[in-house]
Amino acid sequence: MKNIKNDFRSFASDNNSGIDPQVLKAIIDANENHCIGYGDDPYTKKLITLLKERFNDSIVPFLTFNGTGANTLALKQVLKPYQSVICAETAHINVDETSAPENIVGCKILPVKTKDGKLTINDIKPFLSVKNDIHHSQPKVVAISNSTEVGTVYNKKELKNLADFCHENDLILYCDGARIANAAVSLNSDLKEITLDVGLDIWTIGGTKNGLMCGEILIFANENIAEGFQFLQKTGLQLASKMRYLSAQFLEYFEDNLWEKNAKNANKMAQIFAKKLNKFKNIKFAYPVEANGIFIKIDRKYIEKLLEKYFFYIWDEQENIIRLMTSFDTKESDIDSFIDYLSKIYDEKNI
């Protein structure tokens, strides 16, 4: 281990960043003596109390190892095999979870093509025409992500309108909150204002992408929706035995709003990055930069040259769109290094 040198920095994903030093210290501090396992420890009990104080006493929170586990089990909790979930075609549950929802939940996914990764009421309405038709899967859940997979953000009005429409039509509104901290910072809101207050039924609070080692919080708005989930959590392989280490991270995450501080840096760096990229002619932004994701369309020859030095993902092979993600620990010097290299390989006439 001591012989491994790691000076790797990238804009590929906020999953690639390390652990916030405060969170790492919280894990170390929790590593003292023994605790009862499976959530019956003082750290988890304190976290549940804190969450109920921050949101409402009615909520029912659970800790999972990762986002795919949280998403899949949340859907399994509220969907019967003959029911379906409506989501944007870019949604993580549709393209990045290796069919986990279909495989484990047994449900049908109904993806919708969107211009900005966000669902609207008009996107959902056409699916309701098959309700009670025995020959069709029955829509039951509307699943959104905030921020979305293309870096855009649902504002409070959009969320409230979606929730009201869902409830009027006997639908459940679920939010994948892997980057919900970035969405809240973008809207200058706290987490409650864009979840419980706007009418979400189920949501997650991501930690892994914002400075934690691992872990997501899955929250049900009330006990009726959450009934029996503790058994599903166990059978779904998401019940941590040494849960104190997950909980200790989130306790530190909420202490002095570390979640907000980390997301603010990621979002700020994305804005700085976007401004510096904007000086290059023939680089087009595929989506507005509203959180910590930047999607640019750039000539293929530059993509190949950039990949020689930097690791990132090509979002759309046909359109030559690449994704650049900033993180809680991104520095402006990281951005400047990328920009300097891009300037060197770019045709001068295009700068």
Looking at residue 99, its amino acid is: S
* Cα–Cα distance measured from residue 3 to residue 193, given in angstroms and rounded to the nearest whole number: 47
* Cα–Cα distance measured from residue 238 to residue 230, given in angstroms and rounded to the nearest whole number: 10
Percent of the chain at pLDDT above 70? 99
SS3 at position 108: strand
**pLDDT of 5:** 73
Instruction: Give the angle subtended at the CA of 294 by the CAs of 251 and 246, to the nearest 5°.
Output: 15
**pLDDT of 1:** 59
pTM for the predicted model, two decimal places: 0.96
Average pLDDT, the chain: 96
Handedness of CA 130, 135, 139, 140 (dihedral sign): positive
Token match 């872990």: residue? 215
Handedness of CA 311, 315, 319, 322 (dihedral sign): negative
**pLDDT of 117:** 98
Classify residue 259 by burial, with Cβ atoms within 10 Å: 0-12, 13-18, 19+.
buried
Nearest to 283 by CA among 225, 351, 201, 228: 351
Domains in the chain, please, with CATH?
22-257 (3.40.640.10), 258-342 (3.90.1150.10)
Which run of H or of E encompasses 325? strand 321-325
Helix 42-54 to helix 244-254 angle (10° resolution) is 40
Nearest to 79 by CA among 108, 100, 99: 108
**pLDDT of 187:** 98
pLDDT at 76 over 60: yes
* Cα–Cα distance measured from residue 162 to residue 160, given in angstroms and rounded to the nearest whole number: 5
* Cα–Cα distance measured from residue 230 to residue 40, given in angstroms and rounded to the nearest whole number: 13
Token match 């919708």: residue? 112
Classify residue 234 by burial, with Cβ atoms within 10 Å: 0-12, 13-18, 19+.
exposed
**pLDDT of 159:** 98
pLDDT per residue as tens digits for the range 283-328? 999 999 999 999 999 999 999 999 999 999 999 999 999 999 999 9
CA distances for 162 relative to 108, 175, 188, 200, 217, angstroms: 21, 11, 20, 9, 22
pLDDT per residue as tens digits for the range 8-28? 888 999 999 999 999 999 999
Residue 42 DSSP symbol: H
Token duo for residue 218: 């899955």
Nearest to 327 by CA among 237, 244, 231, 212: 212
User: If you average pLDDT over residues 29-52, what whole number do you get?
Assistant: 98
Q: Edge to edge, what strands does the sheet with 321-325 contain?
A: 284-285, 293-297, 321-325, 313-316
How confident is residue 348, by pLDDT bands cut at 50, 70 and 90? low
Residues in the chain: 351
297 bridge partner residues: 284, 321
pLDDT per residue as tens digits for the range 214-254? 999 999 999 999 999 999 999 999 999 999 999 999 999 99
- End-to-end CA separation in angstroms for the chain: 44
User: If you average pLDDT over residues 268-278, what whole number do you get?
Assistant: 98
Classify residue 190 by burial, with Cβ atoms within 10 Å: 0-12, 13-18, 19+.
middle
pLDDT at 349 over 90: no
pLDDT per residue as tens digits for the range 170-215? 999 999 999 999 999 999 999 999 999 999 999 999 999 999 999 9
